[in-house]
Structures are given as C-alpha cells and as structure tokens.
Chains A and B, each alone.
Chain A
C-alpha cells in the first residue's frame, strides 16, 4: 500500500516528473494521430481496391485473354458460394478526343455494366447512372451510338472539369484504337487494317478513388471491346472474370474453391482447340490481384510505424533520464525504506509503479488530446487550405475526401501498451540501480 501512496506522492511533488508525463503525452498524441490517419488511409485504399476488383479474379495478364470463359462462368454460377461473376476485356489502346491533336495511351476495360456492378463496386463509382447501371453506355438521344465511361481524372484533363454537372450529357466523342490479336498473340489483321478503331461517346464518368485507375482507364461495352481487341469470333475470349462471393464466404476459402474448380476445368478443356490460352490464367484474391497498388501503401504504413518506433525510443530515453534524476534525488528515501525492512523487490515495484503512473497519465493526456485533434482535423485542414492553400495530404495522390479520423480501439490499445512498456523500460535501469543501493551508503552523513 505504501508503494501506491509513495509513487503517487512522488508523481505529484516532483515537478521533473511532469516532463516525463509531457514526453509520454506528446508521443502518444503524435502516434495516435498519425497511426489513425495512416491506418484510415490504408484501409480506405484497400477497400477501394476491393470494390474495384471484386472478391476474386480469374484471369491472365496476357493481352490475348483466354478462351472458354463462358463455360467457366456457367460452372461458377452453379456454385452455392458465388454471388456474381463478370467477364472483362482488358487491354491497351490509343484514345483521341475529337478535335484533339494527339493520342493518349489508355487502358480499356470492356464490361457488361450490370454484371460488373453485381460483382464489383463499379455501379457506385458512376456519376450519372449510379441508380441505373444498365444505361451506363447509353448515349443521350441516340441509342445507336456506343458510349464509354472515363475515369474522372482523365475526364478532368480532357475537359478541365471534374464533373460535368448539366442534366444533359455533353456529346464528347473519342476514337479508340486497338491492335487486335489472335489467340496465339499474333496481329489479327495484316497491312493497313491492322488497327481496329471505333468512335465512342462520353456516357458517364467513374470515380473509384484510385488515382491510377481514374486517370488511365476507359470502360467500354463488353462486346465492343471484345471486337476491338480481336477476342470475338467463334471462340470468344476474355481477359478476366471478376467474382463476388456470397456474404458469409471468407475470401481465402472462396478463392481456394475457385482455384480447385479452375484446375478441374482446365483438365476438362485440355483437348480443346485453344486450351493453350488457359495456361497463363491464375486465380487470385482481390488483395493479390491489386498487390502492386496496395504494397507501396502498406510499405509506407510500415515505414511510418518504424519512424514512430523511433519516437517511442526517444520516450524511453526521456523517461530514463528523468528517472535517473529522480532516483538519484531519492537515494536517501531508498536507504530509509531499506532500514525499515523494505526489500529490493519492493523498491523495484515502487519505482516501476511510479513509472507506470507516469505512463498511464501521459497516455491518458495524449489519447485525449489526440482524440480531440482527430475530431477537428478536417475543419483544421479546411481552415489551413482556405487561408494558406495548405493541404496535409495531396488529394491527387491519396484520392481521399475527408482525412480519415475514425479512431480504432485496437490501435489505441497497442499505443497505450507501447507507451507503458516504453516507460517501464526507461525506468528499468534506474530502478534496478535503486534496488541495488546499500542503505548504509545512502544514509551516511557524507551522502546527505
């Protein structure tokens, strides 16, 4: 009991302790704010990638695609764990806006908007047809024209406006040119006709929140894209299948089942004419499929964690120095306590309890300040932007609306536990030295 009383009194009476509390509070504050925002950014980014890809992707990076995809879709749709499947054509093309003087290299993605919205979050990324995805590629006043959906960054570069908000869609024409390939990968057309070109009209814009996607992807109607890429004909080909699992299915379990199905399907198709096109097909979870995008973000989060690990080490040193000073001033007390029968372990417990109090109070203050700051982080950033044109996160890189400020309980627990551990670690050496002090040395007249 005396340990609690003494630790509390030391905390209240020794002003130097306030520095240790302040150091812990500052570190906790910084780490809470940065980790919350960073975790929010990463989670949001992952979720956007998840929505973009669906739960699982069966496909190939090869530009020729793979055959018999319709048969595999039928097989998939018979499975009880599958919610929806959407075939897609993916290739590269040249895009030229009518009136423009140069072509841009873009990625094209041929989709059936209804199926694709069932398998992925595509429908929700649309600006005009969010609630009527079947009309995504319909061009106003002319049902015979083919529509296309542009990523909003790409459109903003073309039109200098992110959203064209008038009720009637503007008629913007784009010519899209592709090099159609055979199933073997050769150019499908020889001579001057080697390029397939078709004009599409702007019918909507998509905002996935993924800057690379929104800056380089043009969605086209599935059949049109298939023809452009030379994947039509008697044996049709597709680049990939986006799959959504039923809600109760775990992603990894679902992917495993699809993988097994694909292995079997491939064996069954081994004797078909274009069976070779199935060789490069892989089955990947959305995370694996989008790893090239997600990994840098996760690396950034890891780097931040390491950086703030160093902040933690600084805290350890501050606490160590403060405790050295405190304990050197308290050597007389240690001698007194030992003279009345207090053990070395009790001395360790006393000063560890003291360090624990410092960490708990420091963490409490840091958490509270961090929480308040996070609540106000968006108004603060708005104010900074309004008055100084300063943004904490460049929106063209992070593609976020508001700065994520949802505090995660798990992160808080980890931060507080780390702060406590840092304080105990910082206090460990001085505490052990205190415990080793001989009472006769500290109580001698010369020591006073």
Chain B
C-alpha cells in the first residue's frame, strides 16, 4: 500500500472515530438535558399539586364550612315555626356536608396534606386506614426525605393498593419501605386470590415495568397468583 493512501485511510478512520465520539457526546448531553427537564417537569407537577390541595383547603373547603354553619344557624331560627323551610334548610345542609366530604377526598387524592406535614409514616398509615384490602406495614423510614421522593413512594403504595383491591380484593397486602444506601425501596406484595393462576390478567394496566422517577419498577407475578411490586427510587 502506498503511503499517501495509508495516511488518507488513517485520517478518514480517525475522523470517523472523532465524529462518532462527538456525536456520542452530543447524544449523551441531550439525554442529560432530557432527564433534567423530565425531573423538573415532575417536580413542578408535584409543587402544583401541593398548591392546589392548599388552595382547595383554604378556599372552597373553608367557605363550605362557613356556609354549613350559616345553614345550621338558620335551621335553629326557623325550628318549629316553618316545617317546610326547615326541611329545605336541612336538605341544603346535607348537600353542603356531602360537598365537604367529596372535596376532602378530592384534595387528598391530588396531594395528601398528611404527607407534607408528617412525612411517610403518617401518610402510609392513612393509606392503610382507608385501603379497601387488609394491609399490613412492616417498615417505613421515620425520617424526612426530599418531597419528590416521599411523593413517589407514597403514590406507588397508593396505586399498588388500589390495584390489589381491584384484582385480588380478598387478598392481604404487605407494604415495606426501606432505605438502603442511596435508594428508597418500596415493596408491595400480596399472596393473590385463591384459585387464580399466574396466567390470568393481573391488572397493572397502567403499570408497565420500567422507570419511576429515575428509578426502576419491577412487577412479578408468582405461581400462587400473588404479585410483588418493587420500586427502587434513587435517594441521596
């Protein structure tokens, strides 16, 4: 081979390698930007949910309670003198009561105040108290963590319990949240429904194994029909 040709080929190869490295670095940089912007979007979403919950509480809920009190006072004043009006006011009071209860559920679904105020132990306890399936909790870290991490762990448990309730309503669910170095690991297991094999649809429609907030989500269906859901969330 002539030397000039060798030089040309070497130069071409080198420039290809350089170009490759440059493109790779560019892709990597773009990926980092996408990751960062995804994290920002998620965090902005969390903050917005907390704000909406607070606005609902300090605005609409507060007004409805005031309205209820006014209706209660009005009922007291007409008591005995106008049965028709009393019945009307009673009906209005009942509507206000139900609106308050519905608003409370709506607000907690958007973002539970108990999570912001007391952290994971109180919030997980609240989930267990309202879970439609029997649920036991074996571990929840007592400390406070960055809000997005607490919120992710909370919503993973919330969704997983709703899923067990839907697909194995007579099962017992077990919740464990542990915090090994650098991670928060959320596990929800259930032993499944008697008579249901692992081949049956186990639900989890919105639960593709994959990523949760920069972490991973695994779902395993056991032979007995039970399910183990494990989320690993990076936690500095």
Bound pair (A, B): no
